[in-house]
Amino acid sequence: MRLSTLSIAWRNLGRNRRRTALALTAIALGQLTLVAVNGMMAGMFDSMLKTITGPMIGHVQIHHKDWREDRAVDLYIDRLPEVRAAIESLPGVKSVSSRLFTAVLVAPGEQTEKPADAEAAIVVGVDVDTESHNNGLLEILPANERPGGRNVVMGTVLAQRLGVTPGRLIAVIGQDADEFPVSDLFTVSAVLKSSVEIVERGIVMSLPDAQAFFTLPDKCHEIVVRGSDYRMSGALADTVRQIPSLSNAEVLTWKEAVPELASMINIKGYFDLIFVGILFLAAAAGIANTMMMSTFERTREIGMLLALGSGPGRLVRMIVLEATILGLVGVAIGSVLGTAVVLITSHTGINYVAIAGVGTGEALDFSYKGLNISLLIYPKFEFRHIIYGLVAVTLTSVLTSLWPAVAAARLEPAEAMRK
Amino acid sequence: MIGCKKHWLAVLSWTALLSICPAALGSEPLIDRKTGTPIVPNVLNCLDDLFRSSSSFAVIRFVVTKPRATRTLEMKAWTRGTEEALIVIEKPARDAGTATLKVGDNLWNFLPKISRTIRIPPSMMLSSWMGSDFTNDDLVRESSLLKDFTATLKGRSKDPDGWIIELRAKEGLVGLWEKIDYILTPDASLPLQAKYYDRKGRLARTMDFRDVKVFDGRRIPSHMVLTPEDKKGQRTEMIYIAIDFDADVPESTFSLSQLERAR
């Protein structure tokens, strides 16, 4: 292709600047929407996925086979040190976290004239070390506020109900594995806000403290395994199932543990496609109109070019190139603007509640299946969104400009020049 | 002729499940002389009279059997009417001093290990009391069989031998039980068995009344066995060691300060 074809195409675009500007605006707006909306969706689903596969559910979960039905104290996994060691030795296992859950009554523990009203809550006994790392239940907690040694962490909702602040004593009354009552005093080392509802409404204890308090030595109710990638959870679950001491346990991937949330995540792929489709249509309409108009407007000129000896092929190339340049420039402008929007909002966050007008309160999350999913969205820039738009617009440019281009190339020079 | 005495004792409202009429002191006949069948309202009234007691003091043994463990608790219980009760656990040492105070609908537990008193919230009323098959609700619930249930005589039962009286919860009654089937002794004076059906009509628990003994001049079953349906291998036995009817129990017994000092 001769360079002159390109420069002619470029100059042609400059001849009707208003029309070119309008077409560019349409394409740029489309690309802007695509990048911004897909970025927002990516951010939202990312945080959902992080919430889901993060603290509470992990990639693979292990329970007593009847646990999910009954959640009774005596449906535990026994010989925990042995089981843990077996899981940790598996390839691809990044972290293993064991948890113990027990329903208790909690009351403020300070001696008062009037006995305190108790609240029902759940005690979650956790591996403090594992849970204090990435994606753990206690990830955001400073090291000196971690539970252990009769210090416990209380969820914000429960703390507010009981009027308990860090440093205060609480009285906890629970049941041991045989359902006989046990009671003890603990100190609240921190009040924790969490995306996990039972933590928000409960108490986090170190696993040794909880095992001793509820007389459940070497036992736990849940083992959460994390691999390197949540997408590999199926393979990870399969290797965990091979462990002989877990032959009676139920091993689930996060998708099996919360199938509703997993299918919500799957929907995201369709959303991306819908926006690419809309952009495709907007670009097609804009480019087709522009090229059609500019080609028919230039019938006389095209006749002249043909008469001067330029081949029909070159004419087609010229017109298709005009459209392609138009599309690419539009995509470039839209990409820059869209990326800017995503990058700026990824710092400030988008308050989905305010935009969508759902609810009137200050709640910035919604609770689903015991997980609090944030409605404050931090969009996430993904380069592939730009590529989607680029491919869609380039394709439409070529396709929609081919018809006017071919029509122009077929003109009879003498006839065309007379128009 | 069997009669029914007023001012019967209820150590707690769950002792109301005893449904016993002491011998020949009351006014209402329990069996119709002509037909030889129980007179249902009189029988119910008699069962209900358990709620209307003046005061009592009892020594009770609790045997709680779980699939893996059995625990025997010994406790003392003081009552006044049906509104007030104080139970203090004496044995085993692990739980000694643990006390429960009931005043009306309120329930407080004193836990000596942490020397704290805690009021049981309404949401925990259906939870187990001291690990037994009795719930906190069993301690505070007040129901009148005559007022809350519609009773029908269902005829004779063969095993155990006695009368079957079916009690159905009246409409609008807020309670746990849709239906209670009582089996009474052939003279309709004492209960032998009570089967509790939940709101979905499923059998939830069975109470057996055994070992009729005379305490303070009154005949009552002294050994009750409560067997829940949904927990295999589990039951709670309540055995009366001693009962002092119309004991002198001062009002001050049922106070929070007494709860923490009670011995």
Task: With CB atoms and an 8 Å threshold, state whether A179 touches B109.
Answer: no
CA distance A288 to A292: 6
DSSP A54-91: IIIT-SEEEEETTHHHH--TT--B--HHHHHHHHHTST
- The dihedral over CA atoms of A290, A292, A297, A303, expressed in degrees to the nearest 10, equals 130
Higher-scoring residue by pLDDT: A227, B75: B75
Residue A79 distance to chain B (closest CA, Å) = 18
CA distance A246 to A241: 7
Looking at residue A335, its pLDDT comes to 92
* Token digits of residue B60: 């009770």
Residue B135 distance to chain A (closest CA, Å) = 12
Looking at residue A339, its pLDDT comes to 92
Query: What average pLDDT is seen over chain B?
Result: 78
Q: Which CATH class is domain B13-261?
A: mainly beta
Tell me the domain boundaries of chain A: 3-53+262-418, 59-257
Contacts of B111 in chain A (CB under 8 A): 171, 173, 183
Comparing alpha-carbon positions, the chain B residue that sits nearest to A111 is B116
pTM over cut 0.90: no
Per mean pLDDT, which range of A65-79, A306-320, B118-132, B135-149 is the poorest?
A: B135-149
Task: With CB atoms and an 8 Å threshold, state whether A118 touches B64.
Answer: no
Per mean pLDDT, which range of A381-390, B2-11, B208-217 is the poorest?
A: B2-11
pLDDT, tens digit, 9 for 90 and up, residues A139-165: 778 888 888 888 899 998 999 888 888
Residue B37 distance to chain A (closest CA, Å) = 44
Q: What is the Cα Rg of chain B in Å? A: 18
Interval A280-285 mean pLDDT: 75
Does the pLDDT at position A245 exceed 70? Answer: yes
Q: Measured between CB atoms, does A185 come within 8 Å of chain B? A: yes
> Measured between CB atoms, which of B69, B113, B131 is closest to A183?
B113
pLDDT, tens digit, 9 for 90 and up, residues B114-131: 888 888 888 788 888 888
CA distance A368 to A390: 37
Please calculate the CA angle A310-A316-A319 and round it to the nearest 5 degrees: 105
With cut-offs at 50, 70 and 90, classify the pLDDT of residue B142.
low
> Measured between CB atoms, which of A171, A177, A178 is closest to B116?
A171
Task: With CB atoms and an 8 Å threshold, state whether A184 touches B113.
Answer: yes
Does the pLDDT at position B18 exceed 80? Answer: no
Does the pLDDT at position B81 exceed 90? Answer: no
Task: With CB atoms and an 8 Å threshold, state whether B116 touches A185.
Answer: yes
Looking at residue A337, its pLDDT comes to 93
Chain B interface residues (partner A, CB cutoff 8 A): 64, 66, 68-69, 71, 95, 98, 108-109, 111, 113-121, 123-124, 128, 130-131, 256
Does the pLDDT at position A412 exceed 70? Answer: yes
Interval A51-72 mean pLDDT: 81
Does the pLDDT at position B97 exceed 80? Answer: yes
Per mean pLDDT, which range of A100-109, A353-362, B70-79, B123-132 is the poorest?
A: A353-362
- Best mutation target among A106, A161, A179, A184 (most B Cβ atoms within 10 Å) is A179
pLDDT, tens digit, 9 for 90 and up, residues A298-356: 888 888 888 888 888 888 888 888 888 888 998 999 999 999 998 888 888 777 656 55
Looking at residue A274, its pLDDT comes to 81
With cut-offs at 50, 70 and 90, classify the pLDDT of residue B34.
confident
With cut-offs at 50, 70 and 90, classify the pLDDT of residue B61.
very high
